[in-house]
Amino acid sequence: MPKRKNTFSSWPRRLAQRAVHAGWAWAQRTGSVTAEHPGRFRFGAMGTGTRLAFPLGTVFGEPWIRIGAHCIVGEQVTLTAGLMPGLDLGPEPILRIGDGVVLGRGSHVIADTTVIIGSDCYFGPYVYVTSTNHSYDDPHEPIGKQWPRMEPVEIGPGCWIGTGAVILPGARVGRNVVVAAGAVVRGEVPDHCVVAGAPARVVRRWTPDEGWQPPLRTPPPVPIPDGTTPDQLRALSELDEESVARLAELDEEGAARLARSDANGTARLAEVERGA
């Protein structure tokens, strides 16, 4: 069979593609919302270093929304205060977001009454937080026409909220809580625990006396020591598994001294192991 002729040759296509990508990157930079460049939005407060990525989701009631410093709000994130735009919600903020919060792409935070998100919380994509739920008391009236129930929501600092989780009205999530992906949270959640399921329940919890129960299945990650240089990390990455195992057998303190002695410390470690 004869090949179809490509009427749109490769070089015009590449040029057009570059132009589209460059234009979209410009739109993302220009359309993002910061305290210095809020555009049409007038938030009750927005801290330094905070950025709402473009394109935004639905945003209204922003005079009653306060966002802390160094927050990252992903694309298509909805932030609303009040049942609808144009309402006077009084002197106090309705939606309060602490410092260092990350809201993943496509998430929704619906604050028809008070919603508080503590500092350093990280949300995966498509998380749904709401202070309002539909009521269905009257079996003869369409559910969408019945007056909803509203209860405040509070998420403590340092939490991780997994992809697709739902935080329902009245939920009070403690400090440093992991909410598993897809969990549906209602009611009280204690500090330092992991919750999963629908409805969510505690599947692991930390206490000062017993530590994590049930015990963690994997050892905690080992942080990179202070003072480690990029050259040292690159040298380590070049070692094979046998050399890494030999390094692990060395006296930890002596190895650390050698590695930090100068910029080539780790390379010297690698040379020692290669010659062993």
Per-residue model confidence as pLDDT tens digits over 59-91? 999 999 999 999 999 999 999 999 888 888 899
Which one is catalytic: 21, 108, 134, 192?
134
Per-residue model confidence as pLDDT tens digits over 185-208? 999 999 999 999 999 999 999 999
* Number of Cβ within a 10 Å radius of residue 250: 14
Cα 107 from Cα 257, distance rounded (Å)? 47
Cα 109 from Cα 176, distance rounded (Å)? 19
* Residue carrying structure tokens 């930890």: 252
- How confident is the chain (276 residues) per 10-residue block, as mean pLDDT? 59 88 92 93 95 95 96 96 89 96 98 97 98 94 93 98 97 98 97 97 96 90 83 81 72 53 50 52
Q: Which residues contact 250 (CB under 8 A, 6 or more apart)?
A: none
Closest CA to 101 of 79, 129, 126, 72: 72
pLDDT at 271: 54
Q: Which residues contact 93 (CB under 8 A, 6 or more apart)?
A: 44, 45, 64, 65, 66, 81
Decide if 130 contacts 167 (C-beta within 8 A). Answer: yes
Decide if 266 contacts 250 (C-beta within 8 A). Answer: no
Task: Look up the pTM and report it.
Answer: 0.79
Task: Based on the residue annotation, tell me whether 37 is a catalytic residue of this protein.
Answer: no
Decide if 134 contacts 141 (C-beta within 8 A). Answer: no
